[in-house]
Amino acid sequence: MIKEIYTLYVERWHFFLDLTWEHLQISLMSIVIATMVGLGLGIMISMYRKSSSTVLGLTNFIYTIPSIALFGFLIPFSGIGNTTAIIALSIYALLPMVHNTYTGIIGIDKEIIEAARGMGSTTFQILYKIQIPLAFPVILSGIRNMVVMTIALTGIAAFIGAGGLGVAIYRGITTNNSAMTIAGSLLIALLALLADWGVGRYEKHIKRKRKLL
């Protein structure tokens, strides 16, 4: 089996390279959208805390829906292909972003916020200069989880006509080619591990920088 997988990589490297690039494009687009929307929602519910239980409850509920079911639900609205995959993956990735942003901001010492207000800082200045920087390690932890999860879930997108390394898995399953299925799965796992390592390194860099300050 190992020899078959190696042969596939050597003989069809261009095929796997194209799929890897497409996989990264779909994943990165979903991650960017989820980061922006999730950060905004997290900030909003930290400012209007009465809405936090509703928003967090909704994101938790969405997270319990099986991924393939969510893909299928969106098909009548956005069709098959990469667009539906990006929408579904962005929705799925919201939970860690919203939750960690909210948790990071509300965990800041209230005395720091009150001192900033006493010095005449506006709400936006407090958010931009104090709350987000102090909450950033917690937010970054959410981004790390979300990145790994999104890269892994992008593999399922091939089942609704999207691209990426899931295409190799799908072809392997439909043609009973175990080597193709494993080859695609290994590349997805490798991408997820590399992304986790990269964000983890940045996370450690931020922590070291904070200790020096």
Convert 170-188 to b/e letters by CB count within 10 Å (16 or more is b).
bebeeeeeebbbbbbbebb
Provide the 8-state DSSP code for 93: T
- For the segment 153-169, what is each residue's pLDDT rounded down to a tens digit? 998 888 888 888 999 99
How far from chain centre, in Å, is Cα 166?
17
Q: What's the pLDDT score for residue 211?
A: 64
Q: What's the pLDDT score for residue 17?
A: 93
Write down all domains in the chain, each with its CATH number in brackets.
2-108+136-212 (1.10.3720.10)
- For the segment 6-47, what is each residue's pLDDT rounded down to a tens digit? 788 888 889 999 999 999 999 999 999 999 999 999 999 988
* Secondary element (H or E) of residue 211: helix 178-212
186, 170, 190, 188: which is closest to 26 by C-alpha? 188
For the chain, the residue count is: 213
